[in-house]
Amino acid sequence: MILRVLIINECKLDLHSIKKCLENNFSAVTESKSVEDALRVVGQNHLDLVLLALSNAENICSDFLAVLRLTLGVTPLIGIADNCSPTDFPLFANSGIDNIIYSDIPGDDLFRKVHALSDAKEKIYSSFLVKDALRKQKNKKVTIFSESELNLFDNDFLSDGTVINSVIGLKRKEDHLENYSSSDIFLIDARIRNIERLCANLKLCRTHRYKPILLVADEDHKEKALSVYRKNIGVLDVIDADTHPSIISCVVNAHIKYKRLLDEFYREIKRNIYTSSVDAITLVYNRSFLEDYISKREDALNHSAVLMIDLDKFKEINDKYGHSFADKVLSEIVAHIKSYIRLTDFIARYGGDEFLVFMRNISRGEIEKIAERLVRSVENKLFNGIRCTISIGACYVGTENVKLREAIFIADSFMYISKKSGGNSVYLC
């Protein structure tokens, strides 16, 4: 198992045997002896494993561990204990450390523990993350609202196309918050008077709703910032203005990273939902989505209707012109059908060249007019240069105790009656 490993050894423990064991197995090992250097390495590199030397619970830097865990994402973090008491281990675990080992651990035991964590990480990655997304973010866009210029970041953070937009003395909510739509994150100086209103307006703005907001506070305004944080109006964290720029840089970079990861994750979810629910040719709901839709509507219908629509002699079009041509005809006809029904009506591809339309809150007379008008309009229109006709079977339910699946069966049966009578017609019960 070849790994890219960072050993953080600010405690100056003797970790020679662990380092040698990793290097003998062809792993690339980097050793950092300060918090600032370690955060810089984590921000600049894609790591497979981080080892952190621990002395005791009293000396553990919880702020550093919080930043480290946030910056690492799902990369395993293993603590190396020396003189630690086992009673300290829960504290380490609660600080984000995945496992605890001793500095004299045998090589086989070390790799067993590492492999278990690395395997879990790879499964998470393969599910919805891209490994490169855990690198240092590029082209970051940070907006800082402040009463004066704030210099919060180190030079490394400011590289790779980072844009810092400082908004000095924001006066009112009319100052066009939507102008900062390209921002990845917002930092707000706690010295600003009406922080609550600014945070609320950012979250109410459609383009900013899911973007991170951090407050930056000096010692005099720390309590004010914490009070705003406790109001649960979108603030994720409070940063001490005196914190080392490398730590602030890593915290902000990590928030941007997770914001982008979540954006990509939800985009992928929406894409998967769309592709799994919508027919690729006609762009209406597919049969799978229809079945799910039906299963959730078990109540009897009331003043509703189901139309089953089938293209007459569509197989002849397929055979004569080919599938690509026929698909285009099909998509044009479906688009035409959609133009004749209401936006609130449900339409799905039932199978082949057969489509289902479900309409609520409609009268029998309206259904009859819509269906007849639709049949005549298709008959009189060219689709991809040829004429087509459709057959419609309709089931209207007034106050009868009929369920959706039963209405579909009736409409489908009447559609076949319409086709057998020559097509280009409506059969309504």
Pick from 66, 54, 63: which is nearest to 8 by CA?
Answer: 54
Of 3.30.930.10, 3.40.50.10470, 1.20.1260.10, 3.40.50.2300, which CATH number belongs to 4-131? 3.40.50.2300
User: CA 35, CA 289: separation in Å to the nearest integer?
Assistant: 52
pLDDT value at residue 325: 93
Every domain range in the chain assigned CATH 3.30.70.270: 287-428
pLDDT value at residue 5: 93
pLDDT value at residue 132: 45
pLDDT value at residue 328: 94
Every domain range in the chain assigned CATH 3.40.50.2300: 4-131, 141-274
Domain boundaries 141-274, CATH class: alpha beta
Of 3.30.559.10, 3.40.50.720, 3.40.50.2000, 3.30.70.270, which CATH number belongs to 287-428? 3.30.70.270
Q: What is the pTM of this model?
A: 0.51
Length of the chain: 429
pLDDT value at residue 61: 60
Pick from 44, 291, 14: which is nearest to 156 by CA?
Answer: 44
10-residue averages of pLDDT along the chain (429 residues): 88 90 90 86 86 70 72 81 70 73 83 73 51 64 90 84 84 68 92 89 86 90 90 85 80 79 76 85 92 84 92 91 92 93 91 93 92 93 91 91 91 93 89
pLDDT value at residue 134: 47
pLDDT value at residue 154: 83
pLDDT value at residue 64: 75
pLDDT value at residue 369: 92
DSSP 68-116: HHHHHTTS-EEEEESS--GGGHHHHHHTT--EEEETT--HHHHHHHHHH
Q: Which residues contact 24 (CB under 8 A, 6 or more apart)?
A: none
Where does 190-325 show beta strands of DSSP type E? 213-217, 235-240, 304-311
pLDDT value at residue 127: 47
The helix (H) or strand (E) run that includes residue 324 is helix 323-340
